[in-house]
Copies of this chain bind each other. A is one copy, B any other.
Amino acid sequence: MSYNTFGTMFRVTTWGESHGPAIGCVIDGAPPLMPLSEADIQPFLDRRRPGQSRFTTQRQEPDHVQILSGVFEGQTTGTPIALLIENVDQRSRDYSSIADQFRPGHADLTYIWKYGIRDPRGGGRSSARETAMRVAAGAIARKVLGNSIKIRGALIQLGTQSIDRARFDWNQTEQNAFFCPDAIAAASWAEQLDAVRKAGSSIGAIVEIIAEGVPPGLGAPVYGKLDADLASAMMSINAVKGVELGDGFATAGLRGEQNADEMRMNSNGSVHFLSNHAGGVLGGISTGQPIIVRFAVKPTSSLLTPLRTVDASGTDVEIKTTGRHDPCVGIRAVPVGEAMMACVLADHLLRHRAQCGVRPITPVLPSKD
């Protein structure tokens, strides 16, 4: 079965193909009385929009979002919010040449094996175009979370080049085409990615998303764990092959003493963690510390280099993908990852309120830092 919905209380359903007339989503369960207009959503879409630098696909999509329901006189009404974006630059050229060939690394063949049919125009439903609606939903999720929760993302590795953590500066992420927090790395990446792009190749990346100000207590044992839902949300983004929280895979190499997040009382009666190896989640429940998620994005599979594949007639062929594509799809995954973080947290905020209501936190308070 196809499941194009995620979330339990804050529920997002997306629809649409890369080259259909439009894409859209329905957000169900958003609280009423939140101020909301297209202007709250558009800036986030603009960050993800293609064609903004030479490092992303040259497809020109204004991604102009329309709210079709669920808002009255500038406020949410509690009923489903429908969003729609028209596809403008879908270039309805002849796609028959690739319709019968299965691009390696794409979902072409798996869709055929599952469904016996696929929409070959621009990747159809498997196109990263779908992620525009995740970003739109994320903008509404941020409204649910309120201003005290801040969610930001950065590209921390391009190919094999990592940033230097000592130079991490959130302001830098808005100064380059990579959402890179390290100005020096960004300059180096530009050079590298130019080479990749000109070679008709592509390259992988690692994205880090951090949510600050998340109250403790979100998430739940044992299959509604906050980290399990985050893992699912991030892994559902196109081309993602790995997800980790906090120290993630590195914890495998640690001793218990190295990994323990010890605690001490602050003078104001709150509890201060001395480290955050856990990435803000213990036992599936938020600790109040920053929630830190990283995910790996594989290199785009669309390449100018000919690759060996087969076609629908069962013949060995070679394929080159000449269309417009991102040389590093990881870049535009940054706002998508932020959006997924926002949606998961919004859902868990409402879920927590359902079961536990609004109760004073006792007996010791979490630290606000």
Contacts and interface: CB of A to CB of B under 8 A. Distances in A.
A105 B361 contact: no
Given A33-B115, A231-B231, 18 more contacts: A1-B352, A2-B224, A13-B80, A15-B26, A24-B24, A78-B117, A110-B219, A125-B222, A159-B255, A204-B254, A206-B252, A228-B236, A230-B235, A241-B244, A250-B296, A251-B296, A314-B363, A350-B354
A182 interface: no
B252 A159 contact: yes
Contacts of A125: 69, 77, 79-80, 221-222
Interface stretch (A45-53, A167-175, A259-267): A259-267
21 contacts: A2-B79, A4-B223, A6-B223, A8-B8, A14-B80, A20-B68, A33-B116, A79-B124, A109-B282, A113-B216, A113-B285, A126-B221, A126-B283, A203-B254, A241-B245, A257-B305, A260-B301, A263-B310, A265-B316, A271-B310, A274-B308
Contacts of A361: 113
A5 B5 contact: yes
A201 interface: yes
Contacts of A363: 112, 312-314
The 5 A-B pairs at the shortest CB distance, nearest first, are namely A107-B283, A3-B224, A242-B244, A354-B354, A232-B232
B28 A4 contact: yes
A290 interface: no
Contact of A353 (B13, B316, B354): B354
Interface in A4-62: 4-6, 8-9, 11, 13-17, 20-24, 26, 28-33
A153 interface: no
Given A24-B82, A31-B357, A243-B231, A303 B257 contact: yes
Interface string A327-362: 000100000000000000000001111111111011
Nearest to A242: B244
A4 B221 contact: yes
B69 A16 contact: yes
Interface string A299-318: 11111010111101111100
Contacts of A262: 104, 307-309
A33 B104 CA distance: 24
B309 A118 contact: no
Contacts of A75: 117
Nearest to A246: B241
Contacts of A323: none
B296 A111 contact: no
A297 interface: yes
Contacts of A350: 1, 354-355
A203 B282 CA distance: 18
A11 B13 CA distance: 11
Contacts of A68: 15-16, 20-22, 24
A109 B287 contact: yes
Contacts of A70: 15
A33 B355 CA distance: 11
B78 A355 contact: yes
Given A13-B80, A259-B299, A314 B4 contact: no
A299 B236 contact: no
By CB atoms of chain B within 10 A, which of A256, A303, A362 has the most?
A256
A79 B107 CA distance: 13
A63 interface: no
